[in-house]
Amino acid sequence: MTTGTETCFHCALPIPADCHLTVDMEGRQQPVCCPGCKAVAELIRDSGMSRYYALREAPDPGVGRPPDETAEWLVFDNDDMLAAFTETSDGVAEATVYAGGMYCSACSWLIETTLSKLAGVVSAEVNPVTHRLRVRWRPDGLRFSDILATLADLGYQPQPLAPENTTRPELVEQRAALKRLLVASLGMMQVMMFAVGLYAGDFQGIDAEMQRFLRLVSFFVTTPVVFYAARPFFKSAWRGIRTRKPGMDLPVSIAVGSAYAASVYATFTNGPAVWFDSVTMFVFFLTLGRFLEMRARHRSIDRTVALSSLLPNTATRVSGDSKFIVPVSQLQAGDRVLVRAGDGIPADGVIVHGQTSVDETMLTGEARPQTKSVGDAVAAGSVNIDGLIELSVTRTGSDTTLGTISRLSERARYARPAFVTLADRIASYIVIALLVIAAIVATAWYFVAPERAFVITLSVLVVTCPCALALATPAAFAAAGSRLSQLRLLVTNGNAIEALSRATVVMFDKTGTLTRGLPRIQSVVVLDESMTEYDCRLIAAALETASSHPLARAFATSASLPRVSQQHVEVGQGVSGIIDGRRWRLGSANFAGGGAGIDTGTPDSVATNVFLGSDDNVVAWFDVEDELRPGVAATLESLDRMGLRAALVSGDKQGPVEDLATRLGIADFHFECTPQRKLQIIEAAQREGERVVMVGDGINDAPVLSGADTSVAPAHGAMLAQTSADVIMLGDSLEPLTTVFQMSAKTMRIVRQNLAWAIVYNALALPLAAAGLVPPWLAAIGMSASSLIVVLNALRLSRFE
Amino acid sequence: MSILYVLIPLALLLLGGAVWVFFWAVSSGQFDDLDTPAVRIIMDDDSKPDDSER
């Protein structure tokens, strides 16, 4: 059986029992699963980079993909392409390349170190978060294609980015946020220092001149904090007023604005107190919260790049008898394009020559290849499996099916009703109430003691400042987001945590979500007693070398294979060939048995059967099945304990889906679902009051993911699904899903505690301040302390295990 | 105490300078990548001295 106890040193896939390859790594013989892994491991060792294995966080599941041919990259050496993708100054060219297939910091180390060793490379830097490589080199000694080919040889999928793509809006936003954060933090520290002097003066007495000076200085430092660092809050508050939906930022702005205005007034009129320290501290905490929130949001991977990474970089255009390799972006409708077996289809088109089977898993979720011949339409983003075909291009770029699906998912994402948080709703009522109360207090004191009216009103405004309330939710969410990202879970949508905590149903996709999406031989049944299981496997493996059908991967072995002659792929049927003078057929029952058919003795539902036959008799059959992702059973069990119902929606056929659902104990399952059907199932559940979490990957799921209340995607799903999902799970196991649910429940508990504390504090402080019992300096301390408690409580989330 | 009238404005000047330098550093892209430098320190590289550009 294939599932040995040992796993490959390089790629961590199980080692086939008949494989005995090892690689000498720092004096130890480490097992590897195939000659390819052996070669890569040796390349890494011989380059002196064995430390890669110690540094990497997770084994690279991208291996096993054949390295791209260098010729493919040569097209990037022509002048047009160089002009489009590189910038040259002082004899040094610079380009930004998206390195597909990167998983961790060790990958970035490997890329940087390997490239730095190429003669002519000036510098190479990789950002492991955005998967972008910034490389500078001397074009007279090194070609751009060499760099791309080197990356491809390492097993990554390089994709040059045009320079304008590199100044992304996120980057602009991050730079602005960093500047604001620095102004707020430095301003706060300075003002705090002056405030110590002022408070000491309140108790011990202070020279009036000095007090005036310290206040003036505080005013100078606070002004940029209010007008620069806090500007986004004012802007958003103003937006809230205009749209008559007062949000969290309105109370924040009123607190900052009024405390600042009152302090300025006090500074220039020698009033009783200033609150510059409270203003700057408040702005700093809010800015910090926003900054952490923004960082968590930016961790989602750039969408446009993700989409086009499914497409090949280049296409072979045919005109007359000549063939040109052109970049995919230059294809136009009406072009003739040649697609080799194993290549991705670059644009939507109609087959004009040849026949093949096409893997459309990314577009339709159908794992089985579709047979296509002359006149059939094929879609960009699917993979040509067996045959050489020539296409007439009908649609390119964003007009393709792939582009349309992506637009659809975009629309579904924006059509989501704006989520109003509990805190926002409470805060907008509270701010209105506060303003009314402050007005009442001011009026009342005006009649009782007009000289104290202003100070007391200020105390009321400051002490009841809803900053604890305003911080309660964002602080908890920011702490939860950063802790989750440490646990290799990325939250891309701020509403996800709240929505997850209310979830009632978890719907799973099958292929690539519950299963790995990699078929394996589960069992072999030999009918001909003169044959051993091992012989059958060898023969099957030898025959399958001709095929690039996804199921063929299940047969791959490193053992030396018998020679096959007259190997022939019957599209949609199977493979045949002659071994030792005997004709063998591998494929469907009909094909292998020469049309005789066979009773397998098992229900058709079980996995997929592949038959091996010779001379019109079936000799053996293989039970090929997609392996379950690790942690599936444990995850489903803990979801059940948390009271969440699991459901299975799949685009696959009834048999495999029903089989899997029974095995995992999922009572609610749906099969042969198109994306539209999946969306209908979700909407039907939502109409019954269920809150649906969709766990899935694959582009066909993107609209479905957006339609669910919350969506979770495993990271090595299609890139598009990653970015439209609310939560992204890195790593192979499904178990982090449990963590997400536990974390969301705990986050919401802390948010509720924070809100409760803020409300209790305000309820206690308000009457005291209104009664004139709280001097402004005590009000400021009370306000800061209440916010601090809220922040510290939120930080407990960052220790969540 | 009158020394404060000199020292505090001096401190503010230094503060202004620090803010200016930081703004320049952010605008020139030095803070664009906040993730790699944290792990880069543990990946000591003996092949060639670190490129100090950018």
- Chain B: closest CA distance from residue A193 (Å): 11
- Nearest residue in chain A measured CA to CA from B24: A179
- Secondary structure of residue A531 in the 3-state scheme: coil
- Chain A: closest CA distance from residue B36 (Å): 6
Q: Tell me which H or E stretch contains A518.
A: strand A515-526
pLDDT tens digits, one per residue of A706-737: 788 888 877 543 344 445 677 777 666 788 88
DSSP-assigned beta bridge partners for residue A342:
none
Q: Are A182 and B31 within 8 A, CB to CB? A: no
ipTM value of the model? 0.81
CB contact, 8 Å: B15 with chain A?
Answer: yes
Average pLDDT of every residue of chain A: 75
A131 phi/psi in degrees, rounded to 5: 60, 30
A71 has a pLDDT exceeding 70 = no
Continuous H helices in A205-248: 208-224, 231-242
- Tell me what pLDDT residue A420 has: 39
The residue ranking higher by pLDDT, A17 or A257, is A257
Enumerate chain A positions whose Cβ falls within 8 A of a Cβ in B. 48, 51, 55, 105, 108-109, 113, 116-117, 122-123, 125-129, 171, 174-175, 178-179, 182-183, 186, 190, 194, 207, 210, 213, 217, 220-221, 295
Question: Between B9, B32, B47, which is nearest A113 by CB?
Answer: B47
**DSSP designation for A398:** G
The residue ranking higher by pLDDT, A608 or A614, is A614
A50 phi/psi in degrees, rounded to 5: -60, -20
DSSP-assigned beta bridge partners for residue A649:
A670
- Which of A90-99, A163-172, A230-239 has the largest mean confidence? A230-239
A370 has a pLDDT exceeding 60 = yes
- Chain A: closest CA distance from residue B14 (Å): 11
Rg of chain B in Å (alpha carbons) = 18
The residue ranking higher by pLDDT, B10 or A334, is B10
Q: How far is CA A211 from CA A221, A266, A459, B35, in A?
A: 15, 11, 20, 44
Among the residue ranges A43-57, A183-197, A263-277, B25-39, the one predicted with the least confidence is A43-57
State the Cα–Cα distance between residues A183 and A224, nearest whole angstrom: 7
| Confidence band, pLDDT 50/70/90 cuts, at residue A308 | very low
pLDDT tens digits, one per residue of A614-662: 877 788 888 777 777 778 888 888 888 888 888 888 877 777 788 888 8
A163 has a pLDDT exceeding 70 = no
Q: How far is CA A539 from CA A4, A265, A452, A523, A585, in A?
A: 21, 91, 97, 16, 10
Q: What percent of chain A has pLDDT over 90?
A: 5
**Nearest CA among A198, A189, A101 for reference residue A152:** A101
- Tell me what pLDDT residue A717 has: 38
pLDDT tens digits, one per residue of A198-225: 888 888 888 888 899 999 999 999 999 9
- Can you list the domains of chain A with their CATH numbers? 1-45 (no CATH), 70-167 (3.30.70.100), 171-295+423-477+746-799 (no CATH), 310-405 (2.70.150.10), 487-515+631-745 (3.40.50.1000), 517-628 (3.40.1110.10)
Among the residue ranges A138-152, A158-172, A570-584, the one predicted with the least confidence is A158-172
CB A705 within 8 A of CB A711: yes
CB A548 within 8 A of CB A386: yes
pLDDT tens digits, one per residue of A465-520: 666 776 677 677 767 776 776 666 766 666 777 788 888 889 888 777 787 766 77
